[in-house]
DNA sequence: TATGGGATTACCT
DNA sequence: GGTAATCCCATAC
């Protein structure tokens, strides 16, 4: 049985924005407890661009237990927990020592949809995986998959039959980082134009509350 | 050790 | 339109 796993080289390129684009159309695969494949096509990503990026957990080279995976070699996972209830799955990109990562924000389900529906207890369709927390729940991704090699057999990426060309890709500001000052508007979110599984961001990003003295 | 907030979601009016 | 849920993590003492 041929392996279609993306090679290490896919992740270790020096241009993380290009890697974030290249992830679109790739298949994210996790085995279910019964051994069956659960998978989906990546349709939305966000790039986090290292120590200069005020939107990144690793801004200023902040290196802690949580952010440590971002400093590793490309092609490993960075999974973290937010809001007391959600996990987020990132692909570490680039070379060791430079904390670049790409958040996977939405998938188009392909295999193991029964598993996704069971975990999500939700209607079939886009709500299964059209957000970073939703897709982690659907795929069963939690902290036990943090710092995992993406060439392992616990979680990996493959080519899919989808051929993506630049004309299929839209870009815009990242979601939920209103604290990122001059990086708030950096167009480092990428998605497949018109794909129904792309996340539905809040119409109004939470404005930083500023009380008058 | 204590505290405040978060790379979100679901549910309410 | 608004906000509760819920706990890890980073930071300040």
**If pLDDT is split at 50, 70 and 90, which confidence band does A203 have?**
low
pLDDT above 90: percentage of residues in chain A = 87
- Per DSSP, the residues of A69-103 read GGGS-SSBEEEEEETTTEEEEEEEESSTTS-EEEE
Q: What is the pLDDT of residues A156-180, one digit of tens each?
A: 999 998 899 999 999 999 999 999 9
In this prediction, residue A207 carries a pLDDT of 39
- pTM of the model as a whole: 0.93
**If pLDDT is split at 50, 70 and 90, which confidence band does A121 have?**
confident
Interatomic CA distance for residues A100 and A47, integer angstroms:
8
Interatomic CA distance for residues A71 and A74, integer angstroms:
9
Q: What is the pLDDT of residues A9-37, one digit of tens each?
A: 999 999 999 999 999 999 999 999 999 99
Q: Is the CB of A68 under 7 A from strand B?
A: no
In this prediction, residue A65 carries a pLDDT of 92
pLDDT tops 50 at residue A212: no
A73 CA from C6 C1′ (Å): 32
- CA–C1' nearest nucleotide, residue A201: B8
User: What tokens were used for A93?
Assistant: 């990109």
Token pair 């796993």 is at which residue? A5
A83 CA from B5 C1′ (Å): 9
**If pLDDT is split at 50, 70 and 90, which confidence band does A46 have?**
very high
| Protein residues closer than 7 Å by CB to strand C | A 57, 62, 64-67, 80-81, 83-85, 143, 202-204, 206
Phi, psi of A195 (to 5 degrees): -70, 125
Arithmetic mean of pLDDT, A75-86: 96
CA distances from A174 to A45, A113, A202 (A): 9, 28, 12
> Over chain A, what is the mean pLDDT?
92
Q: What is the pLDDT of residues A124-139, one digit of tens each?
A: 788 999 999 999 999 9
């Amino acid at each position: 049985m041929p392996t279609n796993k993306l090679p290490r080289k896919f992740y270790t390129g020096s241009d993380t924005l290009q890697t974030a684009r290249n992830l679109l159309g790739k298949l994210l695969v996790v085995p279910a407890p019964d051994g069956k494949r659960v998978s989906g096509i990546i349709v939305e990503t966000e790039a986090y661009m290292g120590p200069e990026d005020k939107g990144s957990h690793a801004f200023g080279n902040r290196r802690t237990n949580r952010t440590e995976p971002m400093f590793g070699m490309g092609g490993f996972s960075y999974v973290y927990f937010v809001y007391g209830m959600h996990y987020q799955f990132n692909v570490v990109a680039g070379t060791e020592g430079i904390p670049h990562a790409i958040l996977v924000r939405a998938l188009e389900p392909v295999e193991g949809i029964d598993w996704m529906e069971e975990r999500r207890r939700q209607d079939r369709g886009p709500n299964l995986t059209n957000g970073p927390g939703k897709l982690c729940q659907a795929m069963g991704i939690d902290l036990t998959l943090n710092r995992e090699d993406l060439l392992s057999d616990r979680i990996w990426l493959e080519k899919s039959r989808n051929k993506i060309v630049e004309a299929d890709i839209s870009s815009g500001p990242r979601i939920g980082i209103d604290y990122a000052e001059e990086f708030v508007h950096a167009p480092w979110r990428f998605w497949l134009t018109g794909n129904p599984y792309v996340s539905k961001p809040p119409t109004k990003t939470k404005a930083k509350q500023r009380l008058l003295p």
